[in-house]
Amino acid sequence: MKDTINAAKEKMQKTIDSLSREFVTIRAGRANPDLLNRVSAEYYGTMTPVSQLAQIKVSEGRTLVITPYDASAFKSIEKAILASDIGITPINDGKAIRLTVPQPTEEKRKELCKTVKKYGEEAKVSVRSVRRDTMDKFKTMKKNSEITEDDLKQCETDLQKVVDKFCAEIDSLVAEKEKEVTTI
């Protein structure tokens, strides 16, 4: 029974980790190298993450400076950034590619808050799905007479405590990201 709850905890933790990674990619007006995590450029015929092709630094708070390790990668990195969904036009000065993260408008901030809430709700749905699957396992164990009715109730209580803890953590992450988005 404890093993089943621990397996559920691991799945719920993966949901939290995934949500955190998702939040990093939300552009909130500050330059962050993680903004380019999902951008890959073609390099010698292979799609390669930009972070492996270049050094990415934050300059002046709202500017990312991308310095390719190989000068031949300039064009493909620039093309990959233009094709990506980050919505920033790269400026190539021959030595580095600069991305200036614009200050979001009030409308954009509201949209970002909606996106943050949507991701948070999706994470909660995922956690509840893990709870449902785990409860199904417990009910099957009860049906097969592996555990008693009292054990089933105890497992349900213990599992609900875990779910509540993870949902509270999701709420905390959502509130933190909303605050970051609105106080730029």
Q: What is the pLDDT of residues 127-168, one digit of tens each?
A: 999 999 999 999 999 899 888 999 899 999 999 999 999 999
Indicate the pLDDT class of residue 2, thresholds 50, 70 and 90.
Answer: confident
Pairing of strands 40-43, 46-49: antiparallel
Q: Where are the beta strands (DSSP E) in the chain?
A: 40-43, 46-49, 54-59, 63-68, 91-92, 97-100
The per-residue pLDDT for 156 is 93
Domains and CATH numbers, the chain: 2-25+105-182 (1.10.132.20), 33-100 (3.30.1360.40)
**Between 93 and 28, where is the model more confident?**
93
Residue 19 has pLDDT above 80, yes or no: yes
The per-residue pLDDT for 30 is 72
pTM above 0.75, yes or no: no
The per-residue pLDDT for 165 is 96
Q: What is the DSSP string of 37-70?
A: TT-EEEETTEEEEHHHHEEEEEETTTEEEEEESS
Cβ–Cβ under 8 Å, residues 163 and 170? no
Q: What is the pLDDT of residues 71-126, one digit of tens each?
A: 888 889 989 988 887 778 888 888 899 988 888 788 888 888 999 999 999 999 99
